[in-house]
Amino acid sequence: MRRSIFLIVPFLLCSCMGPITELYPEDEAERPITVYIVSHGWHAGIAIESDAIKEYLPDHPDMPEAEYLKFGWGDGRYYTDSEAGFGLMMRAAFLPTRSVIHVVGIDIPVDRYFTGSQIVRIKVSEDGAREMGKFVNDRFRLRDGEVQSAGHGLYTNSHFYEANGRYYLPKTSNVWTARALRQTGFPITVLYTFTSGNVVSQAAREGERIR
């Protein structure tokens, strides 16, 4: 029995969950919405055509408006501090901490906006985009029914918001991004997305690696 478990676990980690066909049909013509996985090194995020998702986003005066919206989730102190050092990184990794959502508005091609990042382009269905929109919407933390600002974002036309869930290893930004992508029906195994590199490599099996 023990030997069987040792054989099964690597299989689960290395295998990829198949597509959810009612959300992610095989025919790309039925998947008109563009999604991007963007890796900045340690951290991966997800961008999507704003028209496909904006109706599901909460109302807030600082919510970016643009052709594309990119979402990332992470530790409330480390993620929001552009000069955060090793100490904050270790704190974020090993102590359960409050989380934030970063929303970036992008009005040029995503690969031109993030010139130094690894990027994979994926096509999803309208139903898949809807499910992703619901997932993102549910991650905003509300107080008295209102979305809470967590400060200015890292880029022009971006903003941080308080989020649901605590950040800690292995519950990372990369796992969050993989979960968001999985909502579209895309074939990705969330269990095996601890690093941004694995999110990118799994996405590239079905999507188009731009850089």
Res. 2: pLDDT tops 80: no
| H or E segment and range at residue 129 | helix 126-138
| H or E segment and range at residue 196 | helix 196-206
Residue 17: what pLDDT? 83
pLDDT digits 0-9 by tens, 154-186: 999 999 999 998 886 678 899 999 999 999 999
- What is the average pLDDT across 131-146? 96
pLDDT digits 0-9 by tens, 14-54: 445 899 999 999 999 999 999 999 999 888 999 999 999 99
Alpha-carbon torsion angle 179, 123, 128, 151, nearest 10: 50
Residue 186: what pLDDT? 98
Residue 7: what pLDDT? 43
pLDDT digits 0-9 by tens, 91-123: 444 455 799 999 999 999 999 999 999 999 999
Nearest to 129 by CA among 72, 55, 191, 67: 55
pLDDT digits 0-9 by tens, 51-81: 999 999 999 999 999 999 999 999 987 677 5
Q: Can you give the C-alpha Rg of the chain in angstroms?
A: 17
Give the Cα separation of 67 and 63 in Å (integer): 13
